[in-house]
Amino acid sequence: MAGNNSPGPGQPFTVRTALVMFMALVVAVVAGALFYSAVHSAGLAVITGGAAFAGAWRFFDWLIR
């Protein structure tokens, strides 16, 4: 893998950042949906999804690095 990890012209993110963000988003949506299906509280499902997003981002960032 090349040492240059900066985005190219016109690209807001590197491929690695986009991949980590996508995987964390998938985890967050699944966690929020599962929580909502169990509790039927949209507010708590959003908070759960946000916490899952943050945790998944840290995990996948560590894993891919």
Instruction: Indicate the domain borders of the chain.
Output: 23-64
Model pTM score: 0.84
Instruction: Please list the alpha-helical segments (H only) found in the chain.
Output: 15-39, 42-64
pLDDT tens column, 13-40: 899 999 999 999 999 999 999 999 999 9
Q: Is the dihedral of CA 29, 30, 34, 37 positive or negative?
A: positive
Is residue 34 a contact partner of residue 27, using CB atoms and an 8 Å limit?
Answer: no
Euclidean distance between CA atoms 57 and 62, whole angstroms: 8
Grade residue 10 by pLDDT with cuts at 50, 70 and 90.
confident
